[in-house]
Amino acid sequence: MRSVYTKVTDSMNFFEGNDPVELAKTYGTPLYVCNERILRSRCRDLKHLVTYPNFVVDYSAKANSNLAFLQIVRSEGLEVDAMSPGEIYVEKMAGFAPKEIFYICNNVSEEEMQYAIDEDVIVSVDSVSQLEMFGRLAPGHDVAVRFNPGVGAGHHEKVVTAGKKTKFGVDPEFIPQVKEILKKYDLHLIGINQHIGSLFMTGDAFVKSIDSLLEIAAQFPDLDFIDMGGGFGIPYKKEDGEAPLDLKNLGEALDKKLFEFAEKYGKMIKFRIEPGRYISAESNVLLGQVHSIKHNHDKKFVGCDIGFQVLIRPAMYDSYHGIEIYRPDETKQADETAETAALAELVTVVGNICESGDILAKDRLLPPIKEGDILGVLDAGAYGFTMSSNYNNRLRPAEILIRENGDVVLTRRREKLEDLVKDLIPLDL
Ligand code: LLP
């Protein structure tokens, strides 16, 4: 490989001595590459966020639910949340015990609710009517309720999950009705939870939202836990020197609140957080290959095999992901690394999907890219594979894991054409 533009992965030793061009050749592209060392270190960062002793990190598996990934998260001593029977299923497969799984459901059917009850996981409901449904199905059980503290935050309006305009959580005004239903079905409220939104880079809104959550908690004297939610951000613009979240500051602000509340509440109640992105995003680089470069009117397009069916975040939220360039030796030409970097040009990097919104990076300043180059899309471990699809009947990619000793293992095989049609039932014409 010739390194054309590899600053971020070099600084983290992301590939642990492996050559991304070789990985792309061996496993094909697009390819999600996960680094075990980085994943483990992100788990540890949050496990040690506060000094408060009764503190649990529930990893939010919607960000990345690869089985091997979940096994590593579990081995770091984290618990998990789940949003669907499918997440509960894979989490159990990864070895999580039922009581280590927190099912935070939203508008589910009786069948789904019953599935969670039968699996014996902890259930949180997020409306008065779903509490009633839970009571009907499981009178006398433990249950948690998700509240909407009236404060939201997030990188895009589509990911703000609390506040006056969102569908999530119970408005605290309905606390009397919640209490009535708890009594009617003899339910035991063991916890309350919230999640204000995704991707904050300063902890202010998060810390502020905890005040209202704690006010709600004070109205229920017998809780086992309070779950403060996720949303911990990561710097997507690393090449520009964007700073990471200041966990030390955030931890100190939290610690103060947690200890104060425990003292007032009269017990060292369990506090949980529910991060998805912070744990997973930086552990993955998505590799793709450039197949075509063209000029269309005034624009230069770099066409690769990372369409929005592989990574939808840029198309869906205008999200930014850093892009690196790795060059196979055989395309070696006169230009060398330093010179090429100096020749950076504005290009739009696009995928292979039949939509003009299939854009991975718009008007991005990058060193000159050649056909055959391998691109590395940074910070792709959160909401990457989990939001991928088979749109245009394309195959979902493989995933590999770079172990801490540098060994590479396949953790998900690339789909085959047969996978696309395995559930189709032909007509007998
Ligand atoms: N807990 C609940 C109840 C959630 O709804 C979420 C995310 C999380 C925890 C984890 O949030 P995190 O720590 O990852 O920010 N697809 C979007 C993000 C959607 C987040 C939805 N809920 C994206 O790619 O930015």
Answer whether 245 contacts ligand 1 (Cβ < 6 A).
Answer: no
**Side chain identity, residue 366:** L
List the beta strands (DSSP E) in 166-228: 188-193, 225-227
Whether 11 shows a pLDDT value over 50: the answer reads yes
Q: What is the DSSP letter of 158?
A: G
Helix ranges (DSSP H) in 240-345: 247-265, 277-280, 313-317, 337-342
Answer whether 279 contacts ligand 1 (Cβ < 6 A).
Answer: no
Ramachandran region, residue 379 (left: φ > 0; alpha: ψ -120 to 50; beta: rest): left
How far does CA 104 lie from the centroid of its chain? Answer: 15
Ligand 1 pocket test, candidate residues 145, 195, 226, 286, most atoms within 8 A of CB: 195
The mean pLDDT value for 70-85 works out to 98
CA dihedral 18, 22, 27, 32 (to 10 degrees): 50
pLDDT at 159: 76
Least confident range from 202-216, 265-279, 369-383, 396-410: namely 202-216
| Torsion sign across C-alpha atoms 329, 332, 337, 342 | negative
CA distance 340 to 358: 27
Expressed in angstroms and rounded, the spacing between residue 174 Cα and the centre of ligand 1 is: 25
pLDDT in tens, 173-188: 999 999 999 999 999 9
Answer whether 104 contacts ligand 1 (Cβ < 6 A).
Answer: yes
Q: How many CB atoms lie within 10 A of CB 28?
A: 15
Least confident range from 112-121, 334-343, 386-395: namely 334-343
Structure tokens at 107: 């508008």
Ligand 1 atom with minimal separation from the 277 CA: 14
pLDDT at 334: 46
Nearest CA to ligand 1 atom 2: 195
**Total-model pTM:** 0.96
CA distance 38 to 36: 6
pLDDT at 79: 98
CB contact set of 267 (below 8 Å; sequence gap of 6+): none
Whether 141 shows a pLDDT value over 50: the answer reads yes
Answer whether 313 contacts ligand 1 (Cβ < 6 A).
Answer: yes
Answer whether 213 contacts ligand 1 (Cβ < 6 A).
Answer: no
pLDDT in tens, 293-328: 999 998 999 999 999 999 999 999 999 999 999 998
Whether 338 shows a pLDDT value over 50: the answer reads yes
